Every structure is written in structure tokens, then in C-alpha cells.
Amino acid sequence: MNEKEILVHACCGPCSTASIERLIAEGWKPVLFFGNSNIFPSSEADKRFEELLKVAKAFDLQVIRQEQDHEAWLTQVAGLEGEKEGGARCEKCFLFNLREASRKAEELGFSHFCTTLTVSRFKNSKMIFKVGEQFPSFEAIDFKKKGGFDRSLVMSKEMHLYRQNYCGCEFSLHD
């Protein structure tokens, strides 16, 4: 496998836009991985996946979709349901999704993986890195740096992407 190939955990289409653009500019060859068992309901996951496909098509990239296992995700965050967004529940959520991405990277022979979660202004990159660094092939790339978040807004608008108004799980629906 080419050294610069990277499996990109993609949380949604809008967050993937600027992240992918930056990765390609920096010489990476991304393959997208949609493994987001946190998303509720499943129709919302389908909707976000459809938007990701539009982004993948624009960049001519392969996308791998993992089947949702929301029950397993609920077990992971058990006891933390009432936490505020950005707290301990989210750290467990990152752990769940990054562990899945790490497993997929290993299974497919990727030496590197990263996540588009860091592009969001609403997500703490330090917390994501703390979780990700448990996995040897994790690349700590902060996509919100270099104007990434604003760029993702511009690109999402240009591509007419659906932008969700909640993070993903049922507990974030009312935040």
C-alpha cells in the first residue's frame, strides 16, 4: 500500500469537504470511511451518508460504509446520557468511532487514519487527539486550523449540501 494512503473517518458530507481538500493538497490519498453508529435515527445516518457520497463523487474518492450498530454505541455511552455536549459522553463516542476506524484501517492495510471530526468548531480537537492517540496509526490532523471550518461552510454551500442542525445522537437532538 502507498505510504500516503489514508483512511478518513468521515462524520458527514459538510465536514468532509474542506478536510479532504486539505488532505489532497498535502499529498494524501484519502479513502472515506463512514462508520458512525452514534447517529440517530438511522434515517438521519442515511441522509448524512448520501451527502458524503456527493462529496466523494466531487473528489472521485472511494467510500466504505460500515453498518450502524447503535445498540453497541448506546452501551459504550451508558451512564453518560445526561452529559452536556462536549463532555464525557462525547469522549466515549469518539472512542467508539475511532476504534472502529482503526480496526477498519488495520483490516484494509492502511498505515494511517484520521477523522474529519476535528473540522468542527463545536468539537474539542484536544479531546479527539487524546482518544485517537491510543491507536498507533492515528494521524492527529486538526482540520479546523488553516481556516478549515469556514472553508467547509463555503464548500458545503457551493455543493448544496444538507447541513444537520444537531451533532448526531438522540441526546444531542435538544442541545
Check binding of 38 to ligand SF4 (CB under 6 A).
yes
- Interacting residue with ligand SF4 among 28, 33, 49, 171 (CB under 6 A): 171
Report the C-alpha gap between 170 and 175 in whole angstroms.
Answer: 10
- Asked whether position 169 contacts ligand SF4 by CB under 6 A, the answer is yes
Binding of residue 98 to ligand SF4 (CB under 6 A): no
- Interface stretch with ligand SF4, choices 2-10, 26-34, 85-93, 103-111 (CB under 6 A): 85-93
| Residue pointed to by grid coordinates 454505541 | 73
23 touching ligand SF4, by CB under 6 A = no
Neighbours of 30 (CB within 10 A): 23
How is the chain split among helix, strand and coil, in percent rounded to 5? 50, 10, 40
| Cα(90)–Cα(20) distance, integer angstroms | 23
Provide the residue count of the chain: 175
Pick the binder of ligand SF4 from 23, 90, 131, 161 (CB under 6 A).
Answer: 90
Report how far residue 156's alpha carbon sits from residue 153's, in angstroms, rounded to the nearest whole number: 5
User: Which residue lies nearer to ligand SF4 by CB, 61 or 167?
Assistant: 167
Stretch that binds ligand SF4, among 57-65, 98-106, 144-152, 165-173 (CB under 6 A): 165-173
Question: Dihedral (C-alpha) 47, 70, 29, 104: value to the nearest 10 degrees?
Answer: -150
Query: Interface with ligand SF4 includes 33 (CB under 6 A)?
Result: no
Q: Which positions lie near ligand SF4, rule CB under 6 A?
A: 38, 85, 89-90, 93, 167-169, 171-172
